[in-house]
C-alpha cells in the first residue's frame, strides 16, 4: 500500500510577525543614526524630546495599559528620576551617565511605594486619586526640601556633568546618540519583560484579576513588579529630561505634565509598546508643527486627541496594525 502523500512543507517559511518585528526594533534606530548630520539644533532638540518621552510612555503603559490599573503616579516617577540625576550631578558632582541607573532605581522604588495602595485592593477612581495625590506629594517635597532640590526655583544641572564616560555631550546631536541608546534599551527590555511569563501574568491580571489569582498567579507580586519596572523606565526618562532641559523645577511635574503623558499613552495606543513610541513622537512633535499658530495650537491639539480616542480607541498603533501585522503587539509565540 502506497504511503499517503505527505503535505508538502513550504521550502522557506516566512518568520512569524512577532519575529519580524524584532528586526524592526533594530532597523528603526539604525535608520535614525544619521539624523544629527541633517537636523539643526532646534529640530534635533525636538527629536531628543521625543526620545525622552519614549521611556515615559513605555513605563506609563505598563501599569495603565498592560496591567490595566488606573494609576496616575507616572509624573512622580518622571520627577524623581529628573531630580535624582539633578541632585547627584549638582550636589555630588556625579557625571550624568552615572546618575541614570540611580534615577531609574529611585523611579522603581517610588513605583513600589505608589503600588502599595493597589496591593491593598484599591482600584479604579480611588487608585487614580491616591496615585495623583502621591505625585502631588512628591511635588510638595521638591518645593519644600529647598537645600536639596533648590525649592520652587529648581536646580540647574551643570553642563559639564552631561557626559558619557567623560565624553561631553555639548550639542543636541551628541545627546541624541545617548538618548537613542537609552530609549531603545528601555523599549527592548520592556519588550522582553512583556513577552516573558511576567508580561503574560500582567495580561491575565488585566483580563480578570480574580481568575488570574485562582489560576495560581501571585497577583500582588506582579502588580508590584509592574509598578517597579514602570517606575524604573520612567525614572530613566526623567534622567534624560534633566540632561536635555538642564533645569529641573517642580512645575515641570504638575498635573499638566501628567495629562501630556497620559495623552502619549492614549494617542499611541493603550497597552501597546509600538503605541508608546508613536504616542511620544506624535504628542511631542505635533505642537511644534502648529507653532506658527499658537492660538490654534491648543485647539488643534485637543481635537487631535478627541479624534484619535473617538475613531481609534486603541490608538494610532491600531491603525498601523491594520497596515501590517508586525505592528500588532503579541505577547505569545505562534
Residues contributing to the site for another protein (CB under 8 A): 36-37, 40-42, 45-46, 49, 139-140, 143, 151-154, 156, 159, 170-174, 241, 244-247, 249-252, 255-256, 287-288, 291, 294-295, 297-298
CB 53 within 8 A of CB 187: no
Question: What's the start-to-end Cα distance of the chain, in Å?
Answer: 36
Decide whether 28 or 255 has the Cβ nearer to another protein. Answer: 255
The CA distance from 267 to 306, in Å, is 9
The CA distance from 26 to 234, in Å, is 21
The CA dihedral of 105, 106, 107, 111, to the nearest 10 degrees, is 100
**CB 83 to another protein: min, Å:** 14
**CB 304 to another protein: min, Å:** 14
Decide whether 173 or 199 has the Cβ nearer to another protein. Answer: 173
The CA distance from 264 to 289, in Å, is 17
Q: What does the DSSP 8-state code read for residue 130?
A: H
Decide whether 45 or 327 has the Cβ nearer to another protein. Answer: 45
Decide whether 37 or 332 has the Cβ nearer to another protein. Answer: 37
**CB 315 to another protein: min, Å:** 23
* Bridge partner list, 248: 155
Closest CA to 22 of 196, 229, 187, 265: 187
Which burial class, exposed, middle or buried, applies to 312 when counting CB atoms under 10 A from its CB (0-12, 13-18, 19+)? middle
E runs forming strands in the chain: 155-156, 163-164, 167-168, 247-248
**CB 236 to another protein: min, Å:** 17
**CB 67 to another protein: min, Å:** 28
Decide whether 174 or 220 has the Cβ nearer to another protein. Answer: 174
CB 322 within 8 A of CB 281: no
* CA angle centred on 231, ends 227 and 232, rounded to 5°: 120
Decide whether 46 or 277 has the Cβ nearer to another protein. Answer: 46
Decide whether 127 or 162 has the Cβ nearer to another protein. Answer: 162
**CB 258 to another protein: min, Å:** 13
**CB 49 to another protein: min, Å:** 6
Amino acid at each position: 500500500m502506497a504511503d499517503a502523500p505527505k503535505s508538502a512543507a513550504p521550502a522557506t517559511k516566512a518568520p512569524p510577525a512577532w519575529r519580524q518585528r524584532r528586526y524592526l526594533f533594530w532597523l528603526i534606530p539604525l535608520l535614525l543614526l544619521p539624523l544629527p548630520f541633517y537636523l539643526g539644533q532646534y529640530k534635533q532638540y525636538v527629536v531628543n524630546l521625543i526620545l525622552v518621552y519614549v521611556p515615559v510612555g513605555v513605563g506609563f503603559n505598563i501599569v495603565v495599559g498592560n496591567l490595566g490599573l488606573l494609576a496616575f503616579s507616572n509624573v512622580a516617577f518622571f520627577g524623581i528620576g529628573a531630580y535624582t540625576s539633578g541632585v547627584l550631578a549638582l550636589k555630588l558632582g556625579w557625571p550624568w551617565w552615572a546618575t541614570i541607573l540611580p534615577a531609574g532605581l529611585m523611579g522603581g522604588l517610588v513605583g513600589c511605594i505608589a503600588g502599595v495602595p493597589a496591593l491593598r485592593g484599591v482600584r479604579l477612581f480611588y487608585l487614580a486619586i491616591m496615585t495623583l495625590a502621591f505625585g502631588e506629594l512628591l511635588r510638595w517635597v521638591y518645593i519644600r526640601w529647598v537645600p536639596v532640590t533648590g525649592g520652587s526655583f529648581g536646580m540647574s544641572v551643570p553642563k559639564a556633568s552631561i557626559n558619557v564616560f567623560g565624553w561631553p555631550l555639548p550639542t543636541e546631536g551628541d545627546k541624541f546618540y545617548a538618548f537613542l541608546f537609552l530609549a531603545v534599551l528601555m523599549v527592548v527590555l520592556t519588550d522582553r519583560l512583556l513577552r516573558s511569563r511576567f508580561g503574560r501574568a500582567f495580561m491575565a491580571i488585566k483580563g480578570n484579576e480574580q481568575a488570574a489569582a485562582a489560576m495560581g498567579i501571585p497577583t500582588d507580586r506582579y502588580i508590584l513588579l509592574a509598578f517597579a519596572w514602570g517606575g524604573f523606565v520612567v525614572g530613566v526618562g526623567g534622567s534624560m529630561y534633566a540632561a536635555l532641559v538642564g533645569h529641573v523645577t517642580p512645575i515641570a511635574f504638575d498635573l499638566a505634565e501628567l495629562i501630556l503623558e497620559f495623552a502619549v499613552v492614549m494617542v499611541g495606543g493603550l497597552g501597546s509598546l509600538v503605541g508608546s513610541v508613536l504616542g511620544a513622537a506624535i504628542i511631542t512633535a505635533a505642537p511644534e508643527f502648529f507653532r506658527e499658530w499658537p492660538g490654534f495650537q491648543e485647539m488643534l491639539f485637543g481635537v487631535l486627541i478627541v479624534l484619535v480616542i473617538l475613531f481609534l480607541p486603541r490608538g494610532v498603533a491600531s491603525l498601523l496594525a491594520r497596515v501590517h501585522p508586525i505592528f500588532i503587539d503579541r505577547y505569545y509565540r505562534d
